[in-house]
Amino acid sequence: MPQERVDPELIEPADAVPEPEAEAPAEPAKPGGRWWRGFTGSLAAGLTVLAIGVLVVAVIDLNTGAPGPGAVLLIGHPVAAILALLAQRVADRRNGAPAAGAGLAVVLFTVSALTLFWLT
C-alpha cells in the first residue's frame, strides 16, 4: 500500500537567537605567496621523484649486474629529498619570513643536489 509523503515540521524555540555571521578574514592572502609555495613544492616533489628514480635504477642494476649509481648518489638523493620535503612542510604551514626562508631552503637543497650529483 503506497504511503503519502509528509514533510517534517520546522520547530524553533521561542527564545531563538540568530547565529552571528562569520567574520571576513583580516587580510586576503597575497598571490605571490601562493606562486612561491607552488614553485617550491614542485621542486621538492621533483627532487623526491628523482630520488625514487635513482633508487629504482640502482635496484635494476643490482639485479642485472650492470654498473649503477654509486653510494654517494644512493645516499645523497634521498637525504636531499627528505630535507626539501621537511623544508616545504614548514613553508606550507607558516607565513612571512619563516615560509620564505623554508622555500629558499627548498631551492638551495634542489640546486645543491643537482649540482653535486648531476653536473660533476
For residue range 53-89, list pLDDT tens digits in order.
999 999 999 999 899 888 999 999 999 999 999 999 9
Q: What is the pLDDT of residue 77?
A: 96
Nearest CA-CA partner of 109 in 45, 44, 50 = 44
Grid coordinates 653535486 are at which residue?
Answer: 116
Tell me what percent of the residues of the chain surpass a pLDDT of 90. 61
Measured between alpha carbons, how far is 35 from 52 in angstroms, rounded to an integer?
Answer: 26
Summary mean pLDDT of the chain: 87
Entry pTM: 0.71
Tell me what percent of the residues of the chain surpass a pLDDT of 70. 86
